[in-house]
Structure 1
Amino acid sequence: MLGDVRTRQKRFAEAIALYDQARTESSDRFRPLVDASLANALILSGDLTRARSTLDALAVPSDPSQQAQLQRTRGRLLLAENKPAEALVLYQQLANAPVNGDEGFYRAWALDGISKSESALGNEAQAAQALDQAIDVFDKARAKFRSDEFKMGLFSDLQVVFERAIGMHTRLGQPAKAFDVSERSRARALLDAVAGRAEIGNGEAVALDAATLQTMLRPDEVVVAYHALPDRLMAWVLSNEGVREATLPVAVKRADLARLVDAYRDALINLKPATDVGDKIGTLLLAPLEIPAGKRIIIVPHGPLHYLPFQALRLDGQYLIERNPISIAPSISIAAKLAERTPTVAAQLVAFGNPTINPDVADPLPGAEREVHELSKQFPGATLFFKDQANKSNFTASAPKARLLHVAAHAVADTLDPLHSKVLLADENGQPNYLEAKDVLGMDLSGTAMIALSACESGLGRVEDGDEVLGFTRSFLSAGTSTLLASLWPVSDAATETLMTTLYDDLAKGEQVQDAMRDAQRAVLANPETAHPFFWAPFNLIGNWRLTVQK
Structure 2
Amino acid sequence: MTKRFAVAAVLLLAVALCCARPARAQNYDPAAMQQLSAEFMQLWTDANNARMAGEYDKAVDLFNKLLDPKFENMFIPGIHSYVHMGLGMLYVAYLNLPEEGRLHLEKAIERFGKDIVPDQPYMATGNAAYESAIANCYAMLGEHEKAAEHFLKSIEYNDQFLNGDMAGSMDEKTRVRMTAPNYFYAGRELKKAGRAAAAAPLLEKARDLHLKLEKLGDMSTNKMILSYVFYELGDLDNCIKYYEDYLANYAKEPFIANDDYAKRMLDISRIALAHYYYEAGDWDKALAEIDKSETAALALNWTSDLWRNYHLRGRIREKQGDKSGAVESYKKAIEVVESQRSGLKASDDRASFMELHIEVYKDIIRLLIDLGRPDEALEFLERSKARAFLDMLGGRKLNLPAKAEQNLLEKQVEIEKEINEITAQISTAARGGATRGGAGIAENTEQLRAAQKRLSELLIQVKNMKPEFASLVTVAPPDVSRVSAALAKGDAILEFFPEENGLHIFVITPDGVSLRSAADNAQKIEGLIRLLRSKLTGGSINDSYVPMAEKLYDALIGPVEDLIADADSLALVPHGALHYLPFNALRKGGEFLIDKYVLAVAPSASALGFILDKEKKPAGKLFALGDPVTALPGLPAAEQEVQAISAQFPGASVFYGQDATESRFSAPEVSQAGVVHVASHGLFYPDKPMFSALALTPDPAAGRDGYLQVHEIFGLQLDNAGLVTLSACETGLAAITGGDDLVGLSRAFIYAGAPRVVVSLWTVSDVSTGELMKKFYAGMQGGAAPAPALRQAQLELKSNPDFAHPFYWAPFQLIGDWR
| Same fold, TM-score > 0.5, yes or no | yes
Among candidates 523, 539, 543, match of residue 255 of structure 1? 523
- 2:330–2:364 Cα contact (<8 Å) kept: yes
Once structures 1 and 2 are overlaid, which stretch shifts more, 346-355 or 470-479?
A: 470-479
Corresponding letter in the other structure for 2:716: D
Q: CA 1:82 to 1:319, structure 2 compared with 1: closer, same or farther past 3 Å? A: same
- 2:696–2:708 Cα contact (<8 Å) kept: no
2:513 is equivalent to residue 233 of structure 1: no
Equivalent residue number for residue 380 of structure 2: 181
- 2:684–2:692 Cα contact (<8 Å) kept: yes
Once structures 1 and 2 are overlaid, which stretch shifts more, 72-81 or 217-226?
A: 72-81
- 1:352–1:386 Cα contact (<8 Å) kept: yes
Question: Which structure would you say has the larger Rg?
Answer: 2
Corresponding letter in the other structure for 1:149: D
1:383-408 deviation digits (Å, cap 9, x = unpaired): 11111110112134354443321101
Equivalent residue number for residue 536 of structure 2: 268
Report deviation, 1:330: 1.4
Among candidates 279, 293, 300, match of residue 550 of structure 2? 279
Q: CA 1:81 to 1:222, structure 2 compared with 1: closer, same or farther past 3 Å? A: same
1:207-229 deviation digits (Å, cap 9, x = unpaired): 41433322232222111111121
Q: CA 1:150 to 1:65, structure 2 compared with 1: closer, same or farther past 3 Å? A: farther
Equivalent residue number for residue 141 of structure 1: 340
Q: Distance in 2 between matches of 1:149 and 1:33?
A: 38
Q: CA 1:241 to 1:526, structure 2 compared with 1: closer, same or farther past 3 Å? A: same
- 2:635–2:766 Cα contact (<8 Å) kept: no
Among candidates 91, 109, 122, match of residue 321 of structure 2? 122
Higher relative contact order (CA 8 A, sep 6+): 1
Q: CA 1:146 to 1:403, structure 2 compared with 1: closer, same or farther past 3 Å? A: farther
Report deviation, 1:108: 2.9
Q: CA 1:140 to 1:230, structure 2 compared with 1: closer, same or farther past 3 Å? A: same
Following superposition of structure 1 onto structure 2, how do residues 504-515 of structure 1 map, counting pairs within 5 Å? 504-515=777-788
Report deviation, 1:205: 2.1
Following superposition of structure 1 onto structure 2, how do residues 351-390 of structure 1 map, counting pairs within 5 Å? 351-358=624-631, 361-365=632-636, 367-390=637-660
2:249 is equivalent to residue 57 of structure 1: yes
Report deviation, 1:80: 2.7
Q: CA 1:37 to 1:432, structure 2 compared with 1: closer, same or farther past 3 Å? A: farther
Equivalent residue number for residue 151 of structure 1: 350
State, as a whole percentage, how many aligned pairs show the same letter.
Answer: 26
1:226-276 deviation digits (Å, cap 9, x = unpaired): 11213422222111212222232x333x33322211110111113231444
Once structures 1 and 2 are overlaid, which stretch shifts more, 59-68 or 173-182?
A: 59-68
Q: Distance in 1 between matches of 2:788 and 2:225?
A: 55
Report deviation, 1:43: 5.9
TM-score (norm 2): 0.59
User: What is the number of residues matched between the two proteins?
Assistant: 531
Once structures 1 and 2 are overlaid, which stretch shifts more, 308-317 or 323-332?
A: 308-317
Among candidates 566, 570, 574, match of residue 301 of structure 1? 574
Q: Which SS does the other structure have where 2:813 is aligned?
A: strand
Corresponding letter in the other structure for 1:423: L
Q: Distance in 2 between matches of 1:461 and 1:220?
A: 30
1:432-481 deviation digits (Å, cap 9, x = unpaired): 93325345355234524422110111112432211122332343334443
Q: Which SS does the other structure have where 1:235 is aligned?
A: strand
Once structures 1 and 2 are overlaid, which stretch shifts more, 189-198 or 385-394?
A: 189-198
2:694 is equivalent to residue 423 of structure 1: yes
- 1:95–1:108 Cα contact (<8 Å) kept: no
Unmatched tracts of structure 1, length 5 or more: 22-31, 547-551
Report deviation, 1:300: 0.6
- 2:268–2:293 Cα contact (<8 Å) kept: no
Corresponding letter in the other structure for 2:728: A
Once structures 1 and 2 are overlaid, which stretch shifts more, 477-486 or 164-173?
A: 477-486
User: Normalized per residue, which structure has more strand?
Assistant: 1
Equivalent residue number for residue 337 of structure 1: 610
- 1:36–1:70 Cα contact (<8 Å) kept: no
Equivalent residue number for residue 87 of structure 1: 286
Q: Distance in 1 between matches of 2:706 and 2:492?
A: 39
Report deviation, 1:165: 1.2
Q: Distance in 2 between matches of 1:37 and 1:469?
A: 41
Equivalent residue number for residue 403 of structure 1: 674
Among candidates 72, 76, 86, match of residue 271 of structure 2? 72
Q: Which SS does the other structure have where 1:355 is aligned?
A: coil
Report deviation, 1:422: 3.4
Among candidates 523, 527, 544, match of residue 817 of structure 2? 544
User: Normalized per residue, which structure has more helix?
Assistant: 2
- 2:223–2:243 Cα contact (<8 Å) kept: no
Q: Distance in 2 between matches of 1:5 and 1:221?
A: 51
Q: Which SS does the other structure have where 1:344 is aligned?
A: coil
- 1:235–1:247 Cα contact (<8 Å) kept: yes
- 2:698–2:704 Cα contact (<8 Å) kept: yes
Q: Distance in 2 between matches of 1:283 and 1:424?
A: 39
Unmatched tracts of structure 2, length 5 or more: 1-88, 90-134, 152-180, 187-219, 399-462
- 1:185–1:466 Cα contact (<8 Å) kept: yes
